Structure 1
């Protein structure tokens, strides 16, 4: 279904909060304060959006993003969270690499790269959004997926990390667990959906995953119940990252063995290693107020800023290296070996 249909329906439907917003690029850098705090550079390159308090080590006890950040690349002006995924590369027939840029989604065409973020109480197509959720708390952080996954069986542990081969900007189906095998006219959309059941105690865990859980049965979309170990229902966070592949869609440039040419910045050519990271940073109780409001996309309690303001927020890269935006690289930064 096209997004315009969602918006049109939302004008008339009694609803509770679902929000969808764009975030411009904050920085593309080889840092990962969640998995590799203090490590500069981290093992692989990431593309990061959100508040400009992002740094090499974001320990909860040392950092309160809403108080430290002075701007955010996201449309909600009170959201100083940070959201990030790995970067994507194209491997040419001669074995060299170039980074694949990102572009704005439908409705956010003017933003500088970045991605689209959703917070949902029910599934995306459910305009009612009647389920109540508890917003994330200060200090909360999580990740989902594993860069070590290299088979479908390993990737299936994380059921809602997928790819959509965009025929146009409104394409949403089908979704696959691995990289598309053919050129995608409007780009490759990476979908990262986080678990929604919290243990109610821990703001983080050693693996940054186990304080969260999928429903005990069914799915988030089917309103499956949370397990007793993780009884608190939270919003589903969804990233849609659109990689603009038009400069790389000529199959004459693809590998001669017929394999697809895209590689994650951590060296994965299968796509099964798809993963995403999240560090909460909404100001005060602003997210809870939005989640409690009867609204769909356009929520009165969500303060917003212009795309120009989003694009104006950025931070310099801390790792001084060529990431392949202009030049073709002999190797992906930090990844001499590609699997």
Structure 2
């Protein structure tokens, strides 16, 4: 196998000598957002701590180290829905999770390589580390409201000078429909993982990214690509960002070498304003949206991410939900066209009831 002119043996030798494979052959082509093209079994760039590179080491769920983790079973024969369902302004629920820890680990990009990444702030599964696999995460303790959500969520850590600034309390993580036919959305397959955005993206690429919602904001300042120069120095003011993930899956792989190609954003149906999945990625899954709040304001000149400037923001998701609970929430809230809280309850439609009990568990 050859990777951009470098043989696998050369990369392994470099690693054995203590030289990062990333320094042997850096990639930069993934600075733009996720591609809508079908995944092909070729070497493609991956998101890393500071540069783009390819890992060829067997680790975790990727037994042969080729970067492809097949779904079992694979989902084939799906045709993207073009149907227009009954009007429902909302089709979502929240899976809010608190910060657990920080570490220079990334079990998606650098599986089995502790300390290889820039610093990340982790939420959800409390045991997430460089060695995390689907099996190790499943059923693990979590800071998410629902005990059934053992998924791992992480993003680059934020600093003000040398002080690390951690979000306080449960952070809002939406699961919503990204396609017009919200009835076609199905739960994530166990073990699905992906990266949203790139630490290598430019300011323009961040602004034009399909996941961009409102950028960085604080007080009355919105749509900032980089951190605002200052924010009002008030206790109620925090630095916020919202960013959406791709929600269309190719049905074949739980991960691909660039950690993106198996996923795609919805596309607009020609001649309409309706969103649908592309034919290359026909399976509609929930669209995750991070809505993060960092307790920092005042002079923002020293605020930075561990990955760089504000426009290097990106995040990772590794699904380890208990299947029955996730399906119940998706069916009731997303497919059901409701605006649900973390229990799967829509206060505007109390007659529809809640999915989870007062302990956030499926009855």
Tell me if TM exceeds 0.5.
yes
Partner of 1:261: 302
RMSD: 2.8
Partner deviation per Cα, 1:273-316 (whole Å, 9 max, x = no partner): 1100000011023212111113422422235648xxxxxxxxxx
| Cα shift at 1:142 | 0.7
Unaligned runs of 5+ in 2: 1-86, 345-353
Asked if 1:66 corresponds to 2:138, the answer is: yes
Aligned residues of 1:16 and 1:291 also touching (Cα < 8 A) = no
What secondary structure sits across from 1:191 in the alignment?
strand
TM-score (norm 1): 0.67
Higher gyration radius (CA): 2
Partner of 2:198: 146
Unaligned runs of 5+ in 1: 1-12, 92-96, 104-110, 255-259, 307-339
Q: 1 CA distance for matches of 2:249 and 2:330?
A: 16
| Cα shift at 1:29 | 1.5
Higher RCO by CA contacts (8 Å cutoff, separation 6 or greater): 1
Name the CA shift for 1:137/1:303 in 2 (closer, same or farther; >3 Å). Answer: farther
Partner of 2:311: 272
Aligned positions of 1:41-190 closer than 5 A = 41-60=115-134, 63-67=135-139, 69=140, 71-91=141-161, 97-103=162-168, 111=169, 115-121=171-177, 130-153=182-205, 156-160=208-212, 162-167=214-219, 174-185=222-233, 186-190=237-241
Give the number of aligned pairs: 254
Name the CA shift for 1:52/1:100 in 2 (closer, same or farther; >3 Å). Answer: closer
TM-score (norm 2): 0.63
Q: 2 CA distance for matches of 1:148 and 1:136?
A: 27
Name the CA shift for 1:24/1:116 in 2 (closer, same or farther; >3 Å). Answer: same
Partner of 2:260: 209
Name the CA shift for 1:42/1:236 in 2 (closer, same or farther; >3 Å). Answer: same
What secondary structure sits across from 1:102 in the alignment?
coil
What secondary structure sits across from 2:276 in the alignment?
coil
Partner deviation per Cα, 1:80-136 (whole Å, 9 max, x = no partner): 101111111113xxxxx2112312xxxxxxx3xx5221101259xx9xx94430110
Q: 1 CA distance for matches of 2:243 and 2:102?
A: 18
Aligned residues of 1:161 and 1:275 also touching (Cα < 8 A) = no
